[in-house]
Amino acid sequence: MPPTDASTDAGTARATRLDPGSGPGSRAGTGSDPGAGTDCEDTLDLRLPDELIALFAGDTGSRDGNSAGIADGIPEGDDLLDRVGGWGPAKTPAGVLHLVPVRAERDLPLIHRWMNDPAVAAFWELAGPESVVEDHLLQQLDGDGRSVPCLGALDGIPMSYWEIYRADLDPLARHYPARPHDTGIHLLIGGVADRGRGLGSTLLRAVADHVLDKRPSCARVIAEPDLRNTPSVSAFLSAGFRFSAEVDLPDKRAALMIRDRALRDLL
| Res 217: pLDDT | 96
| Res 229: pLDDT | 85
Answering whether pTM is above 0.85, one says: no
Cα–Cα dist 151/266, whole Å: 29
| Res 70: pLDDT | 34
| Res 207: pLDDT | 98
Could you give the C-alpha distances from 264 to 29, 51, 183, 217, 243, in angstroms and in order?
Answer: 21, 35, 15, 15, 14
> E strand or H helix at 26, and its extent?
none
| Res 3: pLDDT | 55
Report residue 95: phi and psi, to 5°. 140, -170
| Res 193: pLDDT | 86
| Res 78: pLDDT | 57
pLDDT along the chain (267 residues), means of 10: 42 36 41 33 39 42 33 53 94 96 96 94 93 97 95 95 97 96 95 87 97 97 91 94 96 95 92
| Res 21: pLDDT | 41
